[in-house]
Amino acid sequence: MDVIILKDGDAVAAEGAVLLRQVLQRKANAVFGLASGRTPLAMYRRLVVDCRDAGLSFREVTTFNLDEYLGLPPGDPQSYRAYMQRELFDHIDIDVSNTFLPECGAGADPLETGPAYEALIRSRGGIDLQVLGIGRNGHIGFNEPTSSLRSRTRIKTLTRETIAANKQYFEDPATQPQLAITMGIATIMDAGHIVLLATGADKAEAVRQSIEGPVSAMWPASMLQLHEKVSVLLDETAASTLALRDYYDWVAEQKRKLFESLEER
Ligand code: GLP
Q: Give per-residue pLDDT as tens, 138-164.
A: 999 999 999 999 999 999 999 999 999
Selecting among 68, 139, 143, 235, the annotated active-site residue is 139
Q: What is the pLDDT of residues 108-142, one digit of tens each?
A: 999 999 999 999 999 999 999 999 999 999 999 99
Confidence at 265, pLDDT banded by 50, 70, 90: confident
The DSSP-derived string for the chain is -EEEEESSHHHHHHHHHHHHHHHHHH-TT-EEEE--SSTTHHHHHHHHHHHHHS----TT-EEEESEEESSPPTT-TTSHHHHHHHHTGGGS---GGGEE-----TT--HHHHHHHHHHHHHHTT--SEEEE---TT--BTTB-TT--TT--SEEEEPPHHHHHHHGGG-SSGGG--SEEEE--HHHHHTSSEEEEEE-SGGGHHHHHHHHHS--BTTBGGGGGGGSSSEEEEEETTTTTT-TTHHHHHHHHHHHHHHHHHHHH-
Residue 203 alpha carbon, nearest atom of ligand 1: 16
Ligand 1 pocket, residue 9 CB under 6 Å: no
Selecting among 50, 118, 137, 193, the annotated active-site residue is 137
Ligand 1 pocket, residue 144 CB under 6 Å: no
Mean pLDDT score, 14-39: 98
**Any catalytic annotation for residue 76?**
no
Residue 35 alpha carbon, nearest atom of ligand 1: 9
> Whole-model pTM?
0.96
From 12, 34, 36, 83, give the residue whose CB has the most ligand 1 atoms within 8 Å, as the site to mutate.
36
**Any catalytic annotation for residue 50?**
no
Domain 2-263, CATH 3.40.50.1360 — does that match? yes
Percent of the chain at pLDDT exceeding 90? 95
**pLDDT of 74 higher than 90:** no
